[in-house]
Structure formats: structure tokens, C-alpha cells
Structure 1
Amino acid sequence: MKSLLIGLSAALTFGTAPAGMTPGSIDAFLRQALESTGLPGFSVVVTHNGKVVHAAGYGHDSEGHAVTENTPMRVASVSKSFTAMAVMTLVERGKIALDEPVASQLPGFRVADPRAAKITVRQLLNQTSGLSDSTVDIAAVDSATSLADYTSRLAGSGLRADPGTRWEYCNVNYNLAARLVEAASGQRFGDYLRQRVFGPLGMKSSAVSDQVVRPADGYNSIFGAWLPRPELSGFLNGSGSGGVITTAADMGKWLITQTGGGRPLVKRESLDVMHTPTKLRDYGMGWGVERETGLLAHSGNLFTYNAVEAISPKTGYGFAVMANGAALTDDTYTIMQGLNALAEGRTPEPPGGDRQLFELVLAAIAAAAAGLGVMGVLRSRRWAARHAGRPWWWIGLRLVPALLPAVMLAAYPDLISFLMNGREVTWAQLTYFPAPLSITLLVTALAGVVATGIRICVLRTLTRHTK
């Protein structure tokens, strides 16, 4: 990893911007991205050679204001890199031991599984602790009123694997890390970030509580229409896993320090540790690592906001893209990839289009299902006459296909949780950015159930009359 940082340092010291990477070309690409993605608004910052190359906002917020580089945005899991930095500042001060058990450093941390006694701080930050959404009562911990309360609610939890043997993305790891910062520093997590991370960098518009910095409501895309919605209630305030609210202007200062420029918060060796992937996964500490390109990146996905941060050791550029809308696809990542292509002298692909296509297909399916349901009801007498006298088991088999969507709807949260590797998904969450999929499934299920129910009623009536 030292070679990575040496290369990054060289890029920062000697690198020159590609001919196409000018504020004008960046702005032109981002204006095109606003149009092609259809996002209500987003803000962007690009850094290079220890300086901000471009910082701006595009579109509008839910209150009708133009988005600028100073518009507060929720960055969700991008927060994890800030939590990792807070921990590493305390590691350097001798307040936290990276490779010692969390249990010996965090009063109140108890887990029913005895293996949890061996979880180290490094394993929390690397997401290799063995903790999992499937072994923790997520609903219980997410209703906690503080990080201390959150930690105490883990007492009945278990581990999915021995610590250090399996990588699994789990927000619990970073909320525990945030509580560890509180225990080691004697300060609330938000206060420590403000004094030791945001403050020294001049990030005056950043916080981990919406009581300090209040962003406008974000949006969800419902079959192509962006609707403003309040953020789903949850463990947002003070969260180490996803609670940071910041601006593009502030993120520029953050990216510069992550590339070794500006005012350092930790030694370069500590940056090395945070940026180094484990053998189990291409993930460091709050940063994902692309092994082929070396690109450091982390996305953040909340229910009405999306964000991504990235650093390219190849070119020395840093990028952050934050959007006030969330849908079935994340356009912030494709916008970041386009900016990275520009930085490498390549022609970026126009971002966007997938969301519109996906939602158009889902709308067509919902409309077709509703039409078939109405047709099934209108033709129920004809259907019943054709099947009268048949055995009920045979009729049941014929009705099964129409009821399959209802079965899928009943299992919907569990099915999505399974597809997301065990991460808990609730009905409330499924009404946010997955709403087009949820609505389509609901319409399809209702069409099948109603048509089936009426067919059975008409068939029973005909059967009684024939007797």
C-alpha cells in the first residue's frame, strides 16, 4: 500500500490536469448529467493537487432553492470514512488500541455469543467482526436513543462467523466504532468529530445530527416523477454508520486531506491503514478499493439521498457527488465514474437512462396486470361456466399462477433481505426508493387475488344453481 500512497503523492506533486479536465468541461458534463439522469438536484466537488478544481450544485431542493456547493446533503454510508478517521486519531493518541478486543475498551459492550469477546477494533472498521444484520435485532437497535443505548441493546445478539474470518457489510460495526470514540474521548461522537475532524479541516457546515445541520427533504422517483418525502425515521442522529450531513464545499477539504494534502489529521501511515483492503474483501476502513485500478470509493444510500466519494491514486483526483434523490438506480456513482473518465482523458458515457427504463418497464407491467385483472373479473362468468363440474383440486391448480404475485408480496421483505445478503429490510423501507417495484408487485398481487376471488364466487354460485 505504500507504493499506492507514493504514487498518489507523486500525482499530487507532479501531476497535471488532462486537457479536457477544466472547470468548463466538468461543468458541461455535469449539466448534461442533470438532464440525462433527471435528478432533482445534486452537488459535486472535484479536487486535484491539493486544491478544489470545481465545486458546484445543479438542480433544486424540495423547498425550491437552487442547489449549490453549500447545500447540506445527507451522505449516508460515506459517513463511515469519517468514523474511521475519528477512530484513527484516537489510535494515534494512544486512546484506542486497533488490534485489541473491543470488549476490553468499550464498557457496556456485551454480546450473547462468546466469540464476540475476540472482536478487535480493526475488525469493526474492516467489516470482518462477524456481526451481521441476520444475527442482530436491527429494529431494536435502530430505535435506540443514543450510542450507549444502541450498544446495550446488542446484548442478545450473536455472530454469523468467527471474528476475522468473514466480510459482511453491517452498520452495527460503525455504530459501535462511534460509541468507542465516545468512550475513549469522553465526548459525544458528534462533538468529537466537530472538534477533531470537521473543525481542523474547516468543514463548518458538517455535522452528524440534523438538529445541527438540517437538509431539505429529499426525493423518491415514482414511475419517473420525483416526489419530495421526509427521510424515513431511524437511527440517523449521532450515527457512526450513516449520520453525516455535509456540503460539496466541505467535502473538497475532506478529499484533499484523504489524498495527503491540506492539514493532516493523521499520519500518512494511518491513511495507508484506512485505504488498505483486507484479504477477505476489497474493503479498507470506510473505503472500498478496486484492486485493478486502485480507485478508492464508498457509496452512501439512504431513503431519499444518495452520495459517493472517490479518490484516484492513478490521477490524484478526488470526487464527491451528492444527490437529494434516491431511486432504484444510483446515478451518483455513474456521475463519479464519468468524472473519473474525464480525469483519465477518456470520453465519459452519458450517465442516466437506466432509472427511466426500469421504471417504464415496471409501469408497463403494473398497467398490464391491472388490465388483465379487470379482464379476468369481466370474464369470470364465462370462466366459471367453462370450469363448472371440474374437481376443485384441478380448479385450484389453474388458479395458482394468478396467486403467485400475492405469495411474492407476502414474502417481499424477506426476499429482498435474502438478495441483500441478510440485511434486514422492512415494509416501510420498501415504500421509499423501491416504491416503483413495490407498487408493481402490489398491483399485480391485487389483480390476481381479486380476479381469483370473484371467479371462485361465481363458480360456487353456478355450482349451487346446477344442483
Structure 2
Amino acid sequence: MKSLVFGLVLALTPAPASVDGYLDDALDATGLPGVSVVVTHGDRVVHATGAGHDSAGSPVTADTPMRVASVSKSFTAAGVLTLVEDGRLALDDPVRRWLPTVPGGVTVRHLLNQTSGLADSSVNIGELESTRTLAEYAEVFEGTLVAPPGTTWSYCNVNYDLAARVAEVVSGQPFDEFMADAVFEPLGMHDTAVGGAAADGYNSLFGMWFSRPELDGGPAVNGAGGVVTTAADMGRWLVAQNGHGPFPASLLETMREPSAVDQYGMGWAPADGLLVHSGNLWTYNAVQAIDPSTGYGYAVMTNGAGLYDDTQDILDGLVSLTRGESPASPGGGRQTFEWVLAGIGLLALALAVLGVARARRWSTRRLAQHPGRGRLRWWVWTCLRMVPCLLPVSLLVFYPQVVSFISAGRTVLWAQLFYFALPLTVVVAVAAVAGFAVLVARVWRLRSAW
């Protein structure tokens, strides 16, 4: 029976050639500049590879450093939990014991479960992103709770940056050194570091990629999104996450256990039978997943970021391969969406040219209805007729607030909108300029009514 099961597993395990072929197809379909992936099963790496290129022109391989953004949270959680396993802190210890600026009642568990009651709306994200060390970050931190700790879930990077600072204080080491000693080196992840170096990533503008340095915001060594790693090293991490590494079962179980108020554990969340966590920076995207029922692990990392994240689609294809299914071709979503935006931008320009050209005719009709000076009703109605021109201008003025609102309350700053959201930002700006131009032309033509 054992030999039959082993043979079945080998039959279902994707061959390296099929992974390579799928990755090449995915690169063509998505247009991504570079992508690296790894598939693991049980205690072995099935295949780690890469395709495309980085901003220096070098080919992306399994050993190319990639930023993994919020995938870093599972690493931070593992590091903090090693301190718990060693008895140096407890999950229900109050954070205020080490960080006096944190509101009372918040525990280490709350930070890792994202149930602290902190949210982007309750902290000064701009001020925190001006800091350069975790010590400075915790010192300037000021936040109020949107709910009592442990009663609600809110995804907030601040939780994991504060957790990283707790690890620094308890361990007596800088966070990057602590993570190297507690997590990376024990797993043999010699090419992984918090705050490590990686080539510039890419942003997309109407289907075209161009390289840009990662947006500078907050400490480079942080707990929420600072890990730089490779596909080869991610393979070692995923093997350990499936129970074949130095982490005790109790640590892995704690990471995956949902909180009392949400399915999110500590850097992992269930989705379609998998445990997953994604990550989005301004020029890089990543996603990782493990399947506890089969022992498979997956990671996808790209050096490009746009309005549409292709990493989940590529991950779905890898999962299909391991299940003996034909993967759907990923891609097209980003290109289609950005082409639609480009069309909207061109339409706004065309309407602006038409509106300016017809401003004389428009004003002539309005002036023909002028009953004489001092008629308030005519002026009110004329101004109301020009309100549509101001709508795109108003959208531009409140653009960060609007994007933050539709991003489930995550705070998005102006500088960030010129990275991943660049196509949308350009279209909003073009529409605003177009509307303002038509407004000015109409007002200018109406000047004789004063």
C-alpha cells in the first residue's frame, strides 16, 4: 500500500519541464518583466525556477533576490514565536511592557492576529513612514483603538512593525540580526534578509513596464514587509512550514490557528483549502501558499507591480499542475484594465478639445437666456450647468482619500499613487485638467455678462 501511495504522489508531482513551460506561458500572457516560482512537496523542493529579467538586464532565476512585501508577516510571526517557545515572552503579555506608547490592553497575540484594535485610520501613517528605525518608529507611534483589543480584525502593517520592535527589545538584537539567527539560518535560507538588497522593480503604465526604485517609506528593516528572499530559499521555508524543519509542531499550529474574531492566524489565512498570504509593494508582488492536506507548498514572486496583481493567477496555475489538471492561462487582466483606462483618458482629452472649441457657442446660448443683470436664478442655473466640469477636479483633490476608502480603509498616500496606481492617477489628472480647461473656456466666454 505504501508503495502504491508513493507512486501515486510521484505521478501527480509536476515535472520541472511542465513548471518551466507554464512559467514561460505565464510570462508571455501577463507581460510581467520577471517572475520566480517554487513548488515543494513534503520535505523536498520539486522545482524552483525563474523567467524574464530584472532591471539590470540579468535573467531572473531561482536565486534572484525578490522583495516579498507582506509575505514577510509570516516570517515575523515565526520569529516572535521562537521567543515564545524559548519562554522569553508569552503571547498574552501586554505590549506596553516593552513599548510604552502602545495603548493598554494590546497583547503580542493581538498584534500577530491583527486584532489589536489599531487600524490605518487610527494612526498617523505619514509620520510613521518618515522614521528610519524600528526604535524610532515605536517612539513616535501614537495611535488610538477603533475597538477594544481582541474584538475586531483589521489588517494594519503597524501591528507587525510593533511586533518586530518587541522582538528587538526582548532579544537584545537588531531585528534583521534576530531574524537571521532565529529563522533564516536554521532553515538554511542564506540568501534571505530583512531589509536586504534587490534590483529596482517595475511599474506598468498602459501596458508598458519601466523600472523604478522601490518607494522609500518607513524603516527598511521592518516586520510588515521588509524580507528580501529567493525562490530557492522560499522552498526551504515552505518545506519547514509543512512540518519538515526545525520549527516544533506547536509553533506551526499557533501560526495557523484563527483568532476568535477572524480566520486570519499569524501571517497565514485559509483560502480554498490552502493557507496563503500575499504581499504587495510598490514595485514587487508576491504570494505564498501551503496545502496541509497534501504537503504541497507554492510561492510566486514578481518584480513588477500594477493595478492588477498576476501572482494569484500564476499560483492557481501551479496548484492545478500539482493536482494533475491543465492550468488556465493567466494574464490579460492588467493589460485589459489599463487599456480601458487609456481609452477613458483619450476620451477625456477629446471631450476637452470639443468643450473648449464649443465654449463660444455654449456661452452664446446661455447669454441669450440672460434676462438682465442681477438675476440670481440665471447665475445659479448657469453655475449648476458647469458643475460636471468640476467633478473630475474634485476627484483629483480628494484622490488619496477616495482610493483609501475603496481599499478597505488602508491608508494610501499621494506618493504611492504614482507607483502601483500610476495609470489610474494619470487618467484622473487628465480628466481633471480637461474639466478645468472647459470650465475656464466657458467662464471666459461668459465674461461679457458681468
What TM-score results when the alignment is normalised by the length of structure 2? Answer: 0.95
Amino acid in structure 2 at the alignment position of 1:51: R
Match of 1:23 in 2: 16
Equivalents in 2 of 1:358, 1:244: separation in Å?
30
Amino acid in structure 2 at the alignment position of 1:306: N
Equivalents in 1 of 2:261, 2:308: separation in Å?
27
Deviation string 1:221-240 (CA, Å, 9 cap, x unpaired) is: 00000011111111241110
Match of 1:301 in 2: 280
Match of 2:315 in 1: 336
For 1:109-120, what aligned pairs fall within 5 Å after superposition?
109-111=100-102, 116-120=103-107
For 1:251-270, what aligned pairs fall within 5 Å after superposition?
251-261=234-244, 263-264=245-246, 266-270=247-251
Match of 2:109 among 89, 111, 122: 122
Amino acid in structure 2 at the alignment position of 1:22: A
In the TM superposition, residue 140 of structure 1 has moved relative to its aligned partner by 1.0
Equivalents in 2 of 1:236, 1:17: separation in Å?
44
Match of 2:375 in 1: none
Instruction: Give the conservation status (yes or no) of the 8 Å contact 2:131–2:219.
Output: no
In the TM superposition, residue 347 of structure 1 has moved relative to its aligned partner by 2.1
For 1:205-224, what aligned pairs fall within 5 Å after superposition?
205-210=191-196, 214-224=197-207
Amino acid in structure 2 at the alignment position of 1:16: V
Deviation string 1:119-161 (CA, Å, 9 cap, x unpaired) is: 111111000000111111111112112111111112x321111
Equivalents in 1 of 2:313, 2:180: separation in Å?
31
Instruction: Give the conservation status (yes or no) of the 8 Å contact 1:75–1:245.
Output: yes
Deviation string 1:28-72 (CA, Å, 9 cap, x unpaired) is: 111110000000001111101211111111000111111111111
Equivalents in 2 of 1:158, 1:17: separation in Å?
53
Deviation string 1:313-366 (CA, Å, 9 cap, x unpaired) is: 232110111100001111011101111122122222111111011001000000
Equivalents in 1 of 2:258, 2:321: separation in Å?
26
Amino acid in structure 2 at the alignment position of 1:222: L
Provide the secondary structure at the position in 2 that maps to 1:16. helix
Match of 2:407 in 1: 420
In the TM superposition, residue 18 of structure 1 has moved relative to its aligned partner by 4.6
For 1:174-193, what aligned pairs fall within 5 Å after superposition?
174-193=160-179
Q: Which runs of 5+ in 2 are unaligned?
A: 371-377
Instruction: Give the conservation status (yes or no) of the 8 Å contact 1:13–1:49.
Output: no
Equivalents in 2 of 1:236, 1:14: separation in Å?
49
Change (3 A) 1:18 1:143: farther
Equivalents in 1 of 2:8, 2:130: separation in Å?
48
Q: Does 1:372 align with 2:351?
A: yes
For 1:40-439, what aligned pairs fall within 5 Å after superposition?
40-104=33-97, 106=98, 108-111=99-102, 116-154=103-141, 156-210=142-196, 214-261=197-244, 263-264=245-246, 266-290=247-271, 293-388=272-367, 389-390=369-370, 391-439=378-426
Match of 2:373 in 1: none
Deviation string 1:202-243 (CA, Å, 9 cap, x unpaired) is: 111111123xxx211100000000011111111241110000
Equivalents in 2 of 1:61, 1:121: separation in Å?
38
Instruction: Give the conservation status (yes or no) of the 8 Å contact 1:315–1:343.
Output: no
Change (3 A) 1:397 1:18: farther
* Structure 1 moving runs of 4+ over 6 Å: 12-15
In the TM superposition, residue 394 of structure 1 has moved relative to its aligned partner by 1.1
Q: Does 1:460 align with 2:439?
A: no
Change (3 A) 1:73 1:335: same
What TM-score results when the alignment is normalised by the length of structure 1? Answer: 0.91
Equivalents in 1 of 2:205, 2:398: separation in Å?
22
Deviation string 1:55-105 (CA, Å, 9 cap, x unpaired) is: 11100011111111111111110000010000111000001111121112x
Provide the secondary structure at the position in 1 that maps to 2:121. coil
Equivalents in 1 of 2:326, 2:291: separation in Å?
17
Match of 1:446 in 2: 433
Equivalents in 2 of 1:425, 1:120: separation in Å?
27
Amino acid in structure 1 at the alignment position of 2:305: A
The percent identity for this pair of structures is 53
In the TM superposition, residue 172 of structure 1 has moved relative to its aligned partner by 0.8
Instruction: Give the conservation status (yes or no) of the 8 Å contact 2:133–2:219.
Output: no
Equivalents in 1 of 2:432, 2:424: separation in Å?
12
Deviation string 1:386-428 (CA, Å, 9 cap, x unpaired) is: 1114412111111111221111111111111112232211111
Amino acid in structure 1 at the alignment position of 2:434: A
Change (3 A) 1:25 1:182: same
Equivalents in 2 of 1:17, 1:151: separation in Å?
49
Q: Which runs of 5+ in 1 are unaligned?
A: 1-11
Instruction: Give the conservation status (yes or no) of the 8 Å contact 2:134–2:219.
Output: no
